[in-house]
Amino acid sequence: NGEHNLKYGTPKKIIVCGGDGFCGWPTSLFLSEIGHEVLIVDNLSRRNIDNELEAGSLTPIYPISERIDTWKQLSGHELRFERLDIANEYERLLQLLLREKPDAIIHFAEQRAAPYSMKGSSQKRYTVHNNVNATHNLLCAIVESNLDIHLVHLGTMGVYGYGTSGGEIPEGYIDVVLPGGQVSNILHPSYPGSVYHTTKCLDALLFQFYQKNDAIRITDLHQGIVWGTNTQQTRRDERLINRFDYDGDYGTVLNRFLMQAALGAPLTVYGTGGQTRAFIHIQDTAKCIALAVGNPPNRGDRVAIFNQVAECHRVRDLAKLVSRMTQVDIVYVSNPRQESAENELQVSNRKFRSLGYEPILLSEGLLDEVVNVAQKYAHRCDPKKILPASYWNNKRREECERYA
Give, in degrees to the nearest 5, the angle at Cα 230 between 46 and 56. Answer: 30
- Could you give the C-alpha distances from 241 to 24, 115, 133, 287, 376, in angstroms and in order? 13, 25, 30, 18, 13
Q: Residues 4 to 33: which contact ligand NAD by CB under 6 A?
A: 17-18, 20-24
Residue spans of beta strands (DSSP E) within 127-172: 150-156, 168-169
The window from 185-193, 223-231, 372-380, 396-404 that contacts ligand NAD (CB under 6 A) reads: 223-231
CB of 6 to ligand NAD, least distance (A): 27
Residue 25 or 331 with smaller CB distance to ligand NAD? 25
Should residue 291 be labelled a site residue for ligand NAD when binding is judged by CB under 6 A? no
3-state SS class at 177:
strand
Verify whether residue 196 is a known catalytic residue: yes
Contact map string, positions 374 to 403, toward ligand NAD, x by CB under 6 A: ------------------------------
Q: Residues 93 to 112: which contact ligand NAD by CB under 6 A?
A: 108-110, 112
Should residue 360 be labelled a site residue for ligand NAD when binding is judged by CB under 6 A? no
Q: Residues 111 to 170: which contact ligand NAD by CB under 6 A?
A: 112, 130, 134, 154, 156
Whether 82 contacts 130, CB under 8 Å? no
CB of 249 to ligand NAD, least distance (A): 11
CB of 378 to ligand NAD, least distance (A): 21
CB of 137 to ligand NAD, least distance (A): 9
How far is Cα 240 from Cα 340, in angstroms, rounded to an integer?
39
**Contact with ligand NAD (CB under 6 A): which of 44, 128, 140, 355?**
44
How far is Cα 53 from Cα 113, in angstroms, rounded to an integer?
13
Provide DSSP, 359-391.
Answer: ---HHHHHHHHIIIIIITTGGG--GGGSS----
Should residue 225 be labelled a site residue for ligand NAD when binding is judged by CB under 6 A? yes
Reported as half-sphere exposure (CB side, CA atoms, 13 A), residue 312 has a value of: 20
Verify whether residue 135 is a known catalytic residue: no
Verify whether residue 385 is a known catalytic residue: no
**Contact with ligand NAD (CB under 6 A): which of 15, 40, 86, 138?**
86
Whether 267 contacts 324, CB under 8 Å? no
Residue 112 or 188 with smaller CB distance to ligand NAD? 112
Identify which of 160, 121, 113 has the alpha carbon closest to the alpha carbon of residue 388: 113
- The dihedrals phi and psi of 251, each to the nearest 5 degrees, come to -75, 125
How far is Cα 204 from Cα 58, in angstroms, rounded to an integer?
33
Q: Which residues face 306 on adjacent strands?
A: 221
Helix (H) or strand (E) holding 81: strand 79-83
Angular region, 143: left φ>0, alpha ψ -120 to 50, beta rest: alpha
Residue 21 or 296 with smaller CB distance to ligand NAD? 21
Annotated active-site residue in 12, 200, 351, 385:
200
Residue 87 or 216 with smaller CB distance to ligand NAD? 87
Helix (H) or strand (E) holding 353: helix 350-354
Annotated active-site residue in 27, 59, 135, 156:
156
Residue 225 or 378 with smaller CB distance to ligand NAD? 225
Q: Residues 236 to 275: which contact ligand NAD by CB under 6 A?
A: 243, 252
Count CB atoms within 10 A of the CB of residue 334. Answer: 17
Q: How many residues bind ligand NAD (CB under 6 A)?
A: 28
The window from 84-92, 320-328, 329-337, 338-346 that contacts ligand NAD (CB under 6 A) reads: 84-92
Residue 46 or 287 with smaller CB distance to ligand NAD? 46
CB of 298 to ligand NAD, least distance (A): 25
Which residues have CB under 8 Å from 9's CB, separation 6+?
293, 294, 295
**Contact with ligand NAD (CB under 6 A): which of 12, 36, 46, 396?**
46
Annotated active-site residue in 196, 246, 250, 391:
196
Q: Which residues bind ligand NAD (CB under 6 A)?
A: 17-18, 20-24, 42-46, 85-87, 108-110, 112, 130, 134, 154, 156, 223, 225-226, 243, 252
Q: Catalytic residue positions?
A: 156, 196, 200
